[in-house]
A and B are shown apart, each in its own frame.
Chain A
Amino acid sequence: MDTLQGLLYGFSVALQPNNLFLVFVGCLLGTLVGVLPGIGPVAAISILLPLTFQLTPAGSIIMLAGIYYGVMYGGSTTSILVNVPGETASVVTCMDGYQMARQGRAGSALGIAAFGSFIAGTIGLIGLQFISGPLSSVALKFGPPEYFAIILLGFIFISYLSHGSMLKAGMMAFLGLILSSVGLDPITAQQRMTFGILNLYEGIGIAPLAMGLFGVAEVFNSLEKTTSTKILKVKIKNLFPTKLDWLQSKWAILRGTIIGFFLGILPGGGPVLSTFIAYGVEKRVAKNPERFGKGAIEGVASPESANNSATSTSFIPLLTLGIPPNVVLAVLYGAFLIHGVVPGPLLIKEHPDVFWGLLGSMYIGNVMLLILNLPLIPLWVQVLRIPDRVLYPLILLFCVIGAYSINNNVFDIVVMIIFGIAGYLFKKFGYEAAPLILCFVLGPMFEVNLRRSLLISQGSFSIFFTRPIALVAIVVCFALLLFNIYSAYAGKSRPEIESE
């Protein structure tokens, strides 16, 4: 099946009435989650995962992915109107978006965010479509040593690209690795750190972990705040950006798209990081950078484009190599497995309906979001008026039911609460949970591929240096590490990014 045929097949899958409905539901839920501050795509996908048990694998993946890119559209609305990021990927949109809204240009800001998102998302999808096929056939040649080297590279990117303190990111990463090794040893079948608890024999579940760290913790953090958010009372008119808006932001959209495109593929990159970089780049290339922070439309267009194109391309490593490059896809990876679909080089061949159906649905979803989103903005504004005291108990309830229904086991609720407390404390003490959960998923892959490699080579490390792909990846690892140490030594700080 070549790419074009595949895409046609994908549309035929995605346009089946029930799948079309699922795209719609996914996008709508995603936008809702994006609009609501606090709860993000990781928690949302984990909570909704059990709801998909009755669906076909293609249908459920289509819906869960819809949540992911729907969030990217919804997040900007809250940032622009409330000055509170609906989602981490729209933190930077607050800076200029809110200012635009205060100047009475809320419509332009919302409009350019939506159109930029659409353009970038679609370009990202074209990339996903053309890169995935060839990459999968190459990826089949990747054996344990190649996987080991690539994941090692991923780890270095994760710590390098994390915003905030690199030291703390590193610690969270190692904690994630430690947590991931709870359960059965993959090579000798021994139990590790299970304390004789039967429910831990298969390890800690990704969904309760993610729900705890990203859902429950968020609820705790919000509940203790005594202030409430204020919604800007503006009349939103004319959501279509003016000619001037387009002129000002067309290059910003393109730059954002390109930045997101590449950062999406990198492990540890993803939508959130791409928005910070895109904003920084815009500020640097602007003729009069002092406009930024005072309602520059490029400051909205570029990051909003970046996060959508990153969202599309971040599927590339997951679907071809089976390596999730960011937190949301780490959770989505778990969803694939639950539905008996193993992401990796064989995915396109063995589950063409899932792969092409997902791709087709994302094209459709992007159009749907563009059409639906703008007229629905008044509705989202109403949603934002739901008082926290109603919203947060309900989120907590959905987390509880979600955690329970994955394995129909109360134990998972306990796990979720414990990680909820942990996540709350992490935030208090200034640690980011993202490296933890990413390493939690990559850890077992890393370990098992290292040990498989050594089994195949009978304990000789030459296996990592005699195979070209593995060698290149390992050389890049060393180069990055050396560069890191050098720049730390020379006192040149990395481009410091303020988190939240």
Chain B
Amino acid sequence: MKKNNRRFLMVIIGTIIMFVLVLGSGPAIAEYPERPVTVLVGFAPGGSMDLSARALARSAEKILGQPIIIENKPGGTGTVALAALLSQNPDGYTLCATPSSVLIRVSQIQHVPFKPLTSFKPIIGFAEPLLGIVVKNDSPWKNIQDIVNDAKKNPGMLNYATTGVGSTTHAAVDEIVVAKKLQMIHVPYKGSVEALTSLLGGHVDFASLTSELVPSVKSGQTRLLATMSKKRSPKFPAVPTLKEAGYDFVNDAVFSIVGPANLPPELAKKLEVAFAKATKSKEYLESLDRIDMVPVNYNSKEFDKFLRINWKKINKHLIASGLIKEAATLPE
């Protein structure tokens, strides 16, 4: 038995050595990209972040000339993928697609093992979900002002659903609450569908939701009172934005591609150009429309600025609403 054991061990070692010898030679560096590029996504397949990233990848791989592989690494509210990106070589072959909210919102609420504003090199901001405030179709409210008037008359009586505590949809209503000094009850749900179910069942008075609101608005079950993009949505041109309604709030959850901070500048530039071109392709715009996403276009510099400005804004908000005392992670 003992002899047998030793022989077996030798065989294992032999096999391993063989593998090292055969496959040990690394690839030589030619012009970037000379092999497929991996984009990590911090959310499950089939979600809006995943689908948008795939839409962008399909268009961009034609421009880059190499396939782009989407690798889902869900976990930690999207932060696991960002942390995983930093453990990879900054050779431009691993990037991460992330909503800006994971960088500047989630990281203020929970501690993350990176510096949200300096650990990453923003490459492009390419899409955002269609956020909006909806009421049930039999509600008397026709616009945001109606809600505000009603809330003033009945302090502490109205309640609203959002997609989670500290989420962008929560922040939007919070902006109204703070601006008009209202008292309303926040009922957080896990995602838009749960919140929408609650709204349709009449358990909450209004709801602040993400793109999942679109089918229910189109079928007439709910009414959209305001959207949160910079511009009105082409799908609902009659619906004003929150900004038009007089509130200083614009969706801060922009889907973006980031690389590690020490990504060589020439690679970052090349990627930025390629992705920017991809965001203009017809194929990309059509696939975004199908999943009810809104195309946006922030270049690297603009997006960096966007992150910095919104970090401060979100920080103020989160502290004012009592959710945090200070940011859980240092920004830089």
Residues of A within 8 A of B (CB): 53, 57, 140-144, 184, 186-189, 191, 196, 198-199, 201-202, 338-340, 342, 344-346, 350, 407-409, 411, 448, 452, 455-456, 458
Contacts and interface: CB of A to CB of B under 8 A. Distances in A.
Contacts of B196: 346
B175 to A, nearest CB: 18
B71 A408 contact: yes
B18 interface: no
Interface string B36-52: 00000000111100000
B72 A455 contact: no
B187 A455 contact: yes
Contact of B73 (A57, A186, A408): A408
Given A198-B79, A350-B215, A187 B72 contact: no
A458 B185 CA distance: 9
Contacts of B204: 456
Contact of B80 (A57, A196, A199, A350): A199
B160 to A, nearest CB: 11
B331 interface: no
B159 interface: yes
Given A196-B111, A345-B201, A455-B187, 8 more contacts: A140-B201, A143-B198, A188-B323, A199-B75, A201-B76, A342-B194, A344-B194, A407-B75
Given A340-B47, A344-B197, A144 B75 contact: no
B47 A198 contact: no
Contact of A53 (B45, B109, B197, B201): B45
Contact of B165 (A186, A338, A409): A186
Contacts of A407: 72-75, 80
Contact of A187 (B113, B165, B197): B165
A491 to B, nearest CB: 45
Given A186-B165, A189-B109, A338-B46, A198 B83 contact: yes
Interface of B: 44-47, 71-77, 79-80, 83, 109-113, 156, 159, 164-166, 185-188, 190-191, 193-194, 196-198, 200-204, 215, 323
A456 B76 contact: no
Contacts of B190: 186, 448
A188 B73 contact: no
B197 A346 contact: yes
A350 B193 contact: yes
B88 to A, nearest CB: 13
Contacts of B201: 140-143, 345
Given A346-B196, A455-B159, A198 B165 contact: no
Contacts of A187: 165, 188
A339 B83 CA distance: 24
Contact of B193 (A201, A344, A456): A344
28 contacts: A53-B46, A140-B197, A140-B201, A143-B198, A143-B201, A143-B202, A144-B198, A184-B77, A186-B165, A187-B188, A198-B75, A198-B112, A201-B110, A202-B77, A338-B46, A340-B44, A340-B46, A340-B47, A344-B197, A346-B200, A407-B74, A407-B75, A408-B71, A409-B75, A409-B80, A452-B188, A455-B186, A456-B185
